[in-house]
Amino acid sequence: MHRLIQATLVGAVSLALFGAPAVAQQKKSLALVTNVSADFWTVARAGVMKAQGEHPDFAMQVIVTGQATAAEQRRELDDLLASGVAGISISAIDPKNSTEEFNKVASHAALFTTDSDAPNSNRLVYIGTDNKAAGLQAAGEIRKALPNGGKLMAFVGTMDADNARERVEGIREGLKGSNVTIVDIRTDGGDFAKAKANVQDALAKGGLDLLVGLYNYNTPQIYSAVKDAGMSGKIKVVGFDEDAQTLRGVADGTIQSTIVQQPFQFGYQSMTDLVKYINGDKSFIPANHLIIIPTRVIQKDNVHEFQQSMRRMLAAK
C-alpha cells in the first residue's frame, strides 16, 4: 500500500543474504513517512537525499503513504519496526487516533513528527510549520483578495490532522472583524479526483468569491477546475505550498497567492537531527519540543524568483 522512494532496507537485506561486509549490515536505518502522495514530499525527499550524502553511515528512505488513513500509517510503522528501524519522522494523518501506535514506535525507535504534529504522543520533537501562524498569513491574503468581504470555501484532505485544524483556526482568527464568511470546508481523504470534484461541485452551485486550498494538492485541483470552468479572474484563489501547477497559477494570475512551507528542510532536518539524537546529541531539542521552520507568501511579484530557487534546489539533489 505504499512505495519506497529509496529502497535502502531491501538493499540492506540483500547485502546480508549474500555475505556483505559487517559494516554494511551495521548501518542504522531512518525513515521519513508522509501523509499523502504529493509533490510537496518530492521536495522533502531532496532534503533527505542531501542528508544521506552527508551521513553515508546511515540508510535513509522516504515512505509515501498511498492511502491517507491512520490505519495505513499504522501498517507502515509496524513494517518499519519489524525491519529494525532506528529513527522515524512522520507527518501524522490522525494524531488523536494514532497516539497508542506512536507511543509504541517511540518505545523502540527515535520518533519525530514533521508537517503535522502529534503533541500528545511521546514523539521527541516536531519539525515544521507553525500552522496556525500560516493560517493567519492566509487570512491576510484573503482579506487583500476580498477587501469588501465575500464568501469562501476551503478544501483539504482531512480535518483530523493537526496541520489542517490549525490552519483553519488561524484563518478563522485572522478573518474576525471582516465581512468574509467561510461557507464550508470540504474534505477528500487524499483522493485527488474527489478533491477536484469537490471544487467542480462548489463552482457549479455558485455563490462563492474565493477558494482556499489547504493541502499541497488541493490548490492545483482548484486551479484546474477553475480553468476548466472558464472562471479565471472571476473567482479568487489562495493556496498553500509550492506545487508547480500552483506556482504557474500564481504567475498567470489565476491564483492570488500561496503560503509556502520549506519541505526540503522538513526532510533534511528530520534526518540530520535523527542522526544527532541517535548519536547521543540532544542539544538541538528546544524546551517546547518544537522546531519551527518559517513560511513565506508567494505572489505574482516574487513567484519567478521562487520558481528558479526551487529548480536549483531540486537539481542539486
State the CATH number of the domain containing residue 242. 3.40.50.2300
pLDDT of residue 13: 33
pLDDT of residue 66: 83
314 falls within a domain: no
pLDDT of residue 312: 84
CA 36 to CA 229: how far, in whole Å?
A: 27
pLDDT of residue 167: 97
Residues 174, 254: one domain? Answer: yes
Residues 101, 120: one domain? Answer: yes
293 falls within a domain: no
CA 63 to CA 68: how far, in whole Å?
A: 12
Residues 137, 194: one domain? Answer: yes
Residues 96, 200: one domain? Answer: no
291 falls within a domain: no
Helix ranges (H only) for 19-148 are 22-25, 39-54, 70-83, 99-106, 131-145
Residues 41, 60: one domain? Answer: yes
User: CB-based burial of residue 39 (10 Å sphere; 0-12 exposed, 13-18 middle, 19+ buried)?
Assistant: middle
Pairing of the two strands 296-299 and 257-260: antiparallel
Residues 155, 111: one domain? Answer: no
pTM of the model: 0.82
311 falls within a domain: no
Q: How many domains does the chain have?
A: 2
274 falls within a domain: yes
Residues 148, 96: one domain? Answer: no
Provide the residue-wise pLDDT of the chain in tens; the chain has 317 residues. 444 344 333 333 333 333 344 444 579 999 999 998 888 999 999 999 999 999 999 999 999 998 888 999 999 999 999 999 999 999 999 999 999 999 999 999 999 999 999 999 999 999 999 999 999 999 999 999 999 999 999 999 999 999 999 999 999 999 999 999 999 999 999 999 999 999 999 999 999 999 999 999 999 999 999 999 999 999 999 999 999 999 999 999 999 999 999 999 999 999 999 999 999 999 999 999 999 999 999 999 999 999 998 888 877 65
307 falls within a domain: no
Radius of gyration of the chain from its Cα atoms, rounded to whole angstroms: 20
pLDDT of residue 189: 93
Residues 255, 280: one domain? Answer: no
Residues 158, 229: one domain? Answer: yes
Residues 65, 150: one domain? Answer: no
Residues 36, 13: one domain? Answer: yes
Partnered with residue 29 across adjacent β-strands are 59
User: Which domain range does residue 96 map to?
Assistant: 2-129+262-285
Residues 241, 155: one domain? Answer: yes
